[in-house]
Amino acid sequence: MKKVMAFGTFDVLHQGHLKLFEEAKKQGDYLIVVVALDSTVEEVKLHKTLYNEQERLKAVQQSPFVDKALLGNKNDKYRVIEEHKPDVICLGYDQKAFTDKLNEELKERKIRAKIVRLKPYKEDVYNSTKIKTTLKSSNT
């Protein structure tokens, strides 16, 4: 069985995220999605999420493409990769957090995973920042 892993915040789960899951699932047989912890999001993006980590995890778990969804690790961001040993790691087109050292971390941990950067899906429409801005302005 070929395991695939994808990562993200998934604060407002939208069609772009669902397309990411669908495309990631095509890379193998079993898709594991790692949802960022609230503390990790605040550290990386310098702002809080609209939905907490449990709410975001639950939303991701409901996707028909996702076989397993779990939260990331607070102390070692790469540990989840080591624990699940995916054959393929799928990154979003605009994903930057923790990707700069990904190859080094994989080598150091003796993990042979192919890294695939997925193409965007209507990024002018399905962009989390734009969607959240629209949501905030419609609530004011």
From the list 83, 33, 78, the residue with the least C-alpha distance to 59 is 33
From the list 136, 139, 123, the residue with the least C-alpha distance to 14 is 123
**Residue with tokens 């989840």, as numbered in its chain:** 80
pLDDT tens readout for residues 106-118: 999 999 999 999 9
| Helices and strands per DSSP (H, E), number in the chain | 6, 5
pLDDT tens readout for residues 41-54: 999 888 899 999 99
Question: What is the pTM assigned to this prediction?
Answer: 0.85
CB 109 within 8 A of CB 119: no
Domain topology for 3-138: Rossmann fold (3.40.50)
Instruction: Parse the chain into domains and list their residue ranges.
Output: 3-138
Q: Token digits for 117?
A: 């950067």
- Helix or strand holding residue 6 (H, E): strand 3-8
